[in-house]
Amino acid sequence: MQRLVKATIDLPALRRNYALARCRADGRQVWPVVKADAYGHGMFEVARALADADGFCVADLDEGLQLRVAGITQPILVIQGVHSGAGLAAAAEAGLTLGVHGTEQLELIEKDASKLASGSLRLWLKIETGMHRLGLEAEKTLEAQDRLSGLAAVAELGLMTHFACADSADHPLTEAQATAFGRVALSAKGPTSACNSAALLTGCYRNDTVVRPGIMLYGASPLLGRSAAGLELAPVMTLHSRILAVKEVPAGCSVGYGASWTASEDTRIGIVAVGYGDGYPRHAPSGTPVRVDGCEVHTLGRVSMDSLTVDLRRAAQVRVGDEVVLWGQGLAVDEVATAAGTIGYELLTGVSSRVPREYRVAEAT
Ligand SMILES: Cc1ncc(COP(=O)(O)O)c(C=O)c1O
């Protein structure tokens, strides 16, 4: 039997968002971020749909190797780099570009570089500019560049950083990070890369040679207080399911686990075949928006593993079998995320493997 819950992935919408990123990149290379299974959209399908991308970014070695096995030939940046000699050798063999964010990684590369083929290593040093998460201090970066550029295995030495607050308009840390990166980037011997989606859209830094957009490609907003539609981004994933049952709950009766919602009047409710086992957030409170048959309704009571409940008092026409949109077309994932106290990134990446992905490859006519 086919599952009622599905995620439809609109590849033409992905390409339109990517075209917008290219336009904003204004001649810089665009390396889409496809880590975490392309934010839940399917890493292979997304990479193949963006066949003209200049490169791709993933979080770890396994993701990079999987893309190579799938036949992706563009440069691939492994953001977190490698953590062992075997990882270094595998990355060199597969022609992956490695982020280098700490002294342990530098020492590993210096120790093992002589075992690798000449010109087989592409390294991007990650600079600490204000995120205080991963990265080498500016002075250490300059010293590392000198040391690594003398190694025969090293073919490319890039520089990168990551903004902490580019999503908030005019946050002072963004300017401080841009200035700090710009200063070190003057010494660059290869590509430089700073911009994520938010930085690309705000234009807070324009001097890098490679941009790394993620969330904007998937049609969610990277900017606080700005809607995806207002930024001309189209939703790529629509998570949808169907009404499993419709019933009347008498006034005074509660619904669902924990009896957390009680009807104050006789209430028509719908049970939807989707739950936290599919990646719908269990912490979404009563009142989270859902679309049924073109109307916005709201959840009530607790989200269960395989179902949730919606209030149908203002949608009397809804019947068993009707389509329900949890987010995507007609209901922005950011709206659901705000109601659930999280971000679109978490909802999109959290859609579980039991939800079948269906790919739309052509523009709707
Ligand atoms: C290093 C790095 N660059 C770029 C991105 C893409 O960011 P966004 O999805 O906000 O565009 C991420 C995402 O987490 C990242 O970790």
Tokens of 259: 């009896």
Ligand 1: centre distance to CA 60 (Å): 13
**Which residues surround ligand 1 with Cβ inside 6 Å?**
33, 79, 162, 196-198, 212-215, 222
What are the residue boundaries of the structural domains of the chain, listed by start? 11-220, 237-360
User: How remote is the CA of residue 197 from the centroid of ligand 1, in Å?
Assistant: 7
Residue at 139: amino acid letter: E
Which residue among 168, 181, 212 has the greatest number of ligand 1 atoms within 8 angstroms of its CB, and so is best to mutate?
212
Query: pLDDT per residue over 295-352, tens digit each?
Result: 999 999 999 999 999 999 999 999 999 999 999 999 999 999 999 999 999 999 999 9
Tens of pLDDT, residues 78-97? 999 999 999 999 999 999 99
Calculate mean pLDDT across residues 254-276. 97
Q: Could you list the active site residues?
A: 35, 257
Residue range 237-360, CATH number = 2.40.37.10
What is the distance in A from the centroid of ligand 1 to the CA of 6?
26
DSSP, res 355: S
Task: Give residue-wise pLDDT tens across range 224-245.
Answer: 999 999 999 999 999 999 999 9
Q: Quick one: tokens of 355?
A: 């939800």
Relative to the CA of 39, which ligand 1 atom is closest? 9
Closest atom, ligand 1, to C-alpha of 345:
9
Q: Which of 63, 76, 196 to mutate to test the pocket of ligand 1 (most atoms within 8 A of CB)?
A: 196
The number of beta carbons lying within 10 Å of the beta carbon of residue 266 is: 12
Give 199 Cα–ligand 1 centroid separation in angstroms: 10
347 contact partners, CB below 8 Å, separation of at least 6: 279, 281, 327, 333, 336, 337, 340
pLDDT band (50, 70, 90) for residue 363:
confident
Distance, in Å, from the CA atom of 319 to the CA atom of 32, rounded to the nearest integer, reads 41
C-alpha of residue 328 to centroid of ligand 1, in Å: 21
CATH of domain 11-220: 3.20.20.10
Closest CA to 283 of 327, 325, 339, 220: 339
For the four alpha carbons of 155, 157, 158 and 160, in that order, the dihedral sign comes to: positive
User: What residue type is 147 in one-letter code?
Assistant: R
The whole-chain average pLDDT of the chain stands at 96
Phi, psi of 105 (to 5 degrees): -70, -40
Dihedral, CA atoms, 162, 164, 166, 171, nearest 10 degrees?
A: -140
What pLDDT, on a 0 to 100 scale, did the predictor assign at position 364? 73
pLDDT value at position 83? 96
Query: Residue of the nearest CA to atom 14 in ligand 1?
Result: 214
pLDDT in tens, 10-63: 999 999 999 999 999 999 999 999 999 999 999 999 999 999 999 999 999 999
Backbone angles phi, psi at 246, to 5 degrees: -125, 135
**Atom of ligand 1 at shortest distance to CA of 193?**
3
Dihedral pair phi/psi, residue 358, rounded to 5°: -115, 130
Give the Cβ contact number of residue 41 at 10 Å.
Answer: 26
Separation of first and last alpha carbons in the chain:
30
Coil/strand/helix, residue 241: strand
pLDDT of residue 1: 46
The whole-angstrom separation of Cα 108 and Cα 349 is 32
